[in-house]
A and B are shown apart, each in its own frame.
Chain A
């Protein structure tokens, strides 16, 4: 059951992105920025957390889930460390993914070369 929920909710979030791509002139970079920022805002107003509870990976794997982790990290940081927590909490919560992307990205670019499209 949790797989089905993840599939459907994750799919729907991606479809929203696809509709934005096809009907507006927004570039993929703009869409990524919009999705992360809306994840932060939706979490702040309390909409995204129930979705995470309901669909788990279906809501946390798409980029708004990254925004959710940032926002959740920042508010929890505030609870623990006050003002300093607002600055450290978000990155702390998402450090794994970001650090992973840096190191895997580096390794990949060392070991492989880009191939042309066909």
Chain B
């Protein structure tokens, strides 16, 4: 039937769920970046009183969810589903977070695209009438990701210029069937696109074609133009991926450069903080969405935003076996008004 579908990849939500609260917690480095005013909490160290970075990461998620619940004056029992994910093997941060919360749990893996993925699934669940309220949360942690995907922290290597910096942080959002907005009005789910990039230090280039595919399909399906949006913000393409996306979008016939930005580019002062191409990780788009985007929407300085979280769907095993890096991008339209 698919009554709510428009076009090939997009869903138009008929009862758009309202994002009634968000919470963002970031690590010390992110707390020195340009967006520091927007985050709800900044950690002083990246262990936060736990014994390991992995434990810290699940605490980040848990506290982000609790904070979002408190902001909305809700308790765990008011939430029907928890949609969450992270970067670690077997998404342990999310599962260990869910262990602490008594909320029915769907664990998601979409690499760094997980924030938009969880918002997409959460919004569709609420819109479909399967839930009253859901929580969506994702996290990443520089030190836990670094050891899983790259080198030990104390190993003295140089980072390449296209390399990105995994964001330490978690962002959570509570979606509700009733509320004043902002609303999630459209969901465009991405296809896996593999441009054949094998260099793990160049994720931006690996993910850019997926972002372009999802954004241009979103325009085709909804009939929107770049002008309809106040902000089109990708998850973690970094400066390299952002430049490529801008170029490729022009080839597709859409000039988005006026309203286009990237969370990975926005979150750090790249020169001073030495983050090279920019921030990355599921936490990147999560905290930029839950902090910056959401608060600007509430203020009214942004009214309609297209959030596209981008993910690189590789593993350290696939890289060693010489496989290329498949990219994915999921988009959601977040708007202050329902048309």
A/B touching: CB–CB < 8 A: yes
Residues on A lying within 8 angstroms of B by beta carbon are: 21, 25, 28, 114-118
A118 in contact with B29 (CB, 8 Å)? yes
| Contact status B157-A116, CB under 8 Å | no
B199: interface (CB < 8 Å) = yes
Residues of A within 8 A of B57 (CB): none
Query: 11 A–B contact pairs at CB < 8 A?
Result: A21-B158, A28-B155, A114-B143, A114-B153, A114-B154, A115-B154, A116-B53, A116-B142, A116-B153, A117-B142, A118-B29
CB closest residue in chain A, given B199 = A25
* Complex Cα spacing A114 to B146, Å: 12
List B133-182 residues whose CB lies under 8 Å from chain A: 142-143, 146, 151-155, 157-158
Residues of A within 8 A of B142 (CB): 116-117
CB contact between A116 and one of B46, B151, B155, B158 (< 8 Å): that residue: B46
- Give the docked Cα–Cα distance between A115 and B146 (Å): 12
Partner of B157, one of A25, A28, A114: A28
With a cutoff of 8 Å between Cβ atoms, the chain B residues found around residue A114 in the complex are: 143, 152-154
Min Cβ gap B138→A in Å is: 20
**B: number of interface residues (CB 8 Å):** 15
Cα A117 to Cα B157 with chains together (Å): 12
Complex: A9 Cα to B74 Cα, angstroms: 68
Q: Provide the residues of chain B in CB contact with A25, threshold 8 Å.
A: 199
Q: Which B residues are CB-close (under 8 A) to A21? A: 158
Which residues in B have some Cβ–Cβ distance to A below 8 Å?
Answer: 28-29, 46, 53, 142-143, 146, 151-155, 157-158, 199
Indicate if the CB atoms of A116 and B143 lie closer than 8 Å.
yes
For residue B158, give the distance in angstroms from its CB to the closest CB of chain A: 7
CA distance A28 to B151 in the complex (A): 10
- Complex: A117 Cα to B142 Cα, angstroms: 9
How close is B139's CB to chain A, nearest CB, in angstroms?
16
Cβ distance B319 to chain A, nearest Cβ, rounded Å: 11
Contacts of B53 in A (CB 8 A): 116
Closest chain A residue, CB of each to CB of B202 = A25
The CA-CA distance from A115 to B151 in the complex, in Å, is 13
Please give, as numbers and ranges, the residues of chain B lying within 8 Å of A116 by CB-CB distance.
Answer: 46, 53, 142-143, 153
- In the complex, chain B residues whose CB is within 8 Å of the CB of A118: 28-29
List 15 other contacts, CB 8 Å, given A114-B153, A114-B154, A117-B146. Answer: A25-B199, A28-B151, A28-B155, A28-B157, A114-B143, A114-B152, A115-B154, A116-B46, A116-B53, A116-B142, A116-B143, A116-B153, A117-B153, A118-B28, A118-B29
* B146 proximity list for chain A (CB < 8 A): 117
In whole angstroms, how far apart are the Cα atoms of A96 and B157 in the complex? Answer: 25
Alpha-carbon gap, A28 to B201, bound state (A): 14
Q: How far is the CB of B251 from chain A (nearest CB, A)?
A: 27
For A28, list chain B residues within 8 Å (CB).
151, 155, 157
Docked Cα-Cα span, A21 to B158, in Å, equals 9
Bound Cα distance from A18 to B71, whole angstroms: 52
**Interchain CA distance A28-B155 in the complex, whole Å:** 10
The CA of A115 and the CA of B152, in the complex, are separated in Å by: 10
Per the bound structure, the CA–CA distance linking A118 and B151 in Å amounts to 15
Chain A residues with CB below 8 A from B155, complex form: 28
- Give CA–CA (A117, B150) in the complex, Å: 13
Nearest opposing residue in chain A for B147, CB measure: A114
Contacts of B154 in A (CB 8 A): 114-115
- Chain A residue with Cβ nearest B47: A116
> Which residues of the partner chain B approach A117 to less than 8 Å between Cβ atoms?
142, 146, 153
